[in-house]
Structure 1
Amino acid sequence: MGRTLDEVMAGLPAERRQAVKAKAEELLHEVEGLRALRVLAERSQEQIADGLGIKQPSVHKIERQADLYLSTLRRFVEAAGGTLELRVSLPGEGTILLTGIGDLHS
């Protein structure tokens, strides 16, 4: 019979268990695509559509697009109740918060 996850984790050194837990937390904060973001935000396509002032089929289309204007992405995230931050990682510079991108009011 196989071992359970708890049994496997218990057999790891403490440092390795901590690394696994940290990676699991990191992955929980990553979502793939706008549909997953909407589901995480507990919003329906209709609710997002209302927030964007569009019809539900348009939300479905946006969720399936691989390439979006940042202004569309920002509005979608805001309709889901969030805020959009764009961070850039540059070698030797670390992570930089890029502002004013996709903001139609700038």
Structure 2
Amino acid sequence: MATKFSELRERMSPEAQAMAQAKTDEMMAEMPLQELRRARELSQKAIAEVLHVSQARVSKMEKRTDMYLSTLRTHIEAMGGSLDLVANFPDGKVKISHLDEPTHV
């Protein structure tokens, strides 16, 4: 009989639980669009319907390594999220605000 993950986690020491949570947070902090969509339990077809494009077009968007911010923004919004652009400097972070124009999905 299989053991539930929640039961396994309860048997872990508090230190091991904290390490596991930190690793989960790290993995969730960065991921490609395709993995993000899957993590949100959305299909390419569902995203395509929101964006009024074909499923093939969504597939192509997810594979691109270079795209307009507006394209990325609409893709993220179709998943129910919002996009923030942040510049990281040694002395701090700055959110780029003039790109916050909302789009109509």
- Pairs within 5 Å for 1:1-106: 20-21=19-20, 23-92=22-91, 94-101=92-99, 103=101
Contact 2:84 2:100 in 1 (8 A): no
**Alpha-carbon distance change, 71 to 59 in structure 1, aligned in 2, over 3 angstroms:** same
Tell me how far apart the structure 2 counterparts of residues 43 and 25 of structure 1 sit (CA, whole Å).
20
Contact 2:47 2:58 in 1 (8 A): yes
Tell me how far apart the structure 1 counterparts of residues 53 and 22 of structure 2 sit (CA, whole Å).
38
State the identity as a percent. Answer: 34
Q: What RMSD in Å do the two structures reach over aligned CA positions?
A: 2.7
List, as ranges, runs of 4+ consecutive aligned residues in structure 1 with deviation greater than 4 Å. none
SS at match of 2:86: strand
Unaligned runs of 5+ in 1: 1-5
Aligned to 2:4: none
CA offsets, 1:17-63, max 9 Å, x none?
Answer: 58734631432422421101111121110110111111100000001
- How does the TM-score come out when normalised to structure 2? 0.72
User: What is the number of residues matched between the two proteins?
Assistant: 94
Q: Which amino acid aligns with 2:99?
A: I
Instruction: Pick the structure with greater CA Rg.
Output: 1
- How does the TM-score come out when normalised to structure 1? 0.71
